[in-house]
Amino acid sequence: MSEPRAKKHFGQHFLHDPYVIERILRTVNPKPGEAIIEIGPGPGALTVPLLKRVPQLTVVELDRDVIPHLREACGDAPGLNIVMADALSVDYAALVPGEQPIRLVGNLPYNISTPLLFHLLSFADRVQDMHFMLQKEVVDRMCASADDDAYGRLSVALAARAEVVHLFDVGAGAFKPPPKVESAVVRLRPRKPDFEVRDWKLFDRVVTSAFLMRRKTLTNSLRQLLSAEQMRSVGVDPQWRAERVSPAQFAALASLLS
């Protein structure tokens, strides 16, 4: 069977570099008995070596044309469970019965990486960790701190929900076809923040509003939600822009609305 063609509308870039694949496997260190779900397996470059380490593996793949290639590469392994679905709509908790912690891995499509991360974090109470290949620019945003150029809504949302570690960079040559951007592997471990978030919906609303007009001061971007006096009451200068506000300070602002 010939190699599958990567589809642009799925944001596909198939990983093929054996060194990078082995490095990911060493980092994930999968063990038999663990509930591992791979997102976007493609033709199976990571799936095949994963199945050599764990007898049971669930993969989520949207592209029906790539599934025959995946089955062939895996030798129709009986422990392979293929879920043909959009990763953005999957109930990941339902894929693993009981309360067993879930480990997520994958080379995520760049065109849906941010909404997919938010969807996956909705299952944080069941997820042990996540190891993903992503566009390096996205990983930089995920790990950024206040006052960094890359700091934004994604940085704050993740800082409140998980420990995020940029593990290593990956060059374009590790993929077929090579993307026009650099990539990176990142690890997320869901955990509670070291500050109080009283209402997650209000927290996300304040963060989203602040960064929607990130070049404007908080007086302008949050004027529909909070007064300047309220902002000062929790130590936030209303003349700051959103990139100066720490995750803990955003939580304090949100608490004023609850």
**pLDDT band with cut points at 50, 70 and 90 for residue 6:** very low
Please give the share of the chain, as a percent, with pLDDT higher than 90: 76
Same domain as 208, residue 80:
no
Claim to verify: residue 120 and residue 89 sit in the same structural domain: yes
What pTM does this model have? 0.90
pLDDT digits (tens, 9 = 90+) for 217-229: 999 999 999 999 9
Q: Of 169, 190, 211, which marks where a domain is finished?
A: 190
Q: What tokens were used for 36?
A: 């591992």
* Res 113: pLDDT: 87
Residues 96 and 186 in one domain: yes
The domain boundary, picked from 138, 167, 190, lies at 190
pLDDT band at 76 (very low <50, low <70, confident <90, very high): confident
Residues 36-51 have a mean pLDDT of 94
- Answer yes or no: is 195 within a domain: no
CATH code: domain of residue 123: 3.40.50.150
**What is each CA distance from 144 to 46, 150, 165, 233, 244, in whole angstroms?**
28, 6, 10, 26, 12
Same domain for 115 and 207: no
Give the whole-angstrom CA distance, residue 127 versus residue 130.
8
Quick one: tokens of 219?
């007086």
Same domain for 182 and 122? yes
- Final residue before a domain boundary, out of 141, 169, 190: 190
Output the average pLDDT for the chain.
91
Question: Mean pLDDT, to the nearest integer, of 127-143?
Answer: 96
**186 beta partners:** 132, 166
Same domain, 105 and 215: no
Same domain, 158 and 245: no
Query: Do 128 and 207 sit in the same domain of this protein?
Result: no
Domain that holds residue 225: 200-257
Mean local confidence (pLDDT), 197-214: 94
> Is the pLDDT reported for residue 189 higher than 90?
yes
Bond into 177 cis (ω within 30): yes
Query: What are the φ and ψ backbone dihedral angles of 129, each rounded to 5 degrees?
Result: -165, 170
Are 152 and 206 contained in the same domain?
no
Burial class (CB in 10 A: 0-12, 13-18, 19+), 199: middle
pLDDT the model gives residue 96: 94
Are the CB atoms for 194 and 123 separated by under 8 Å?
no
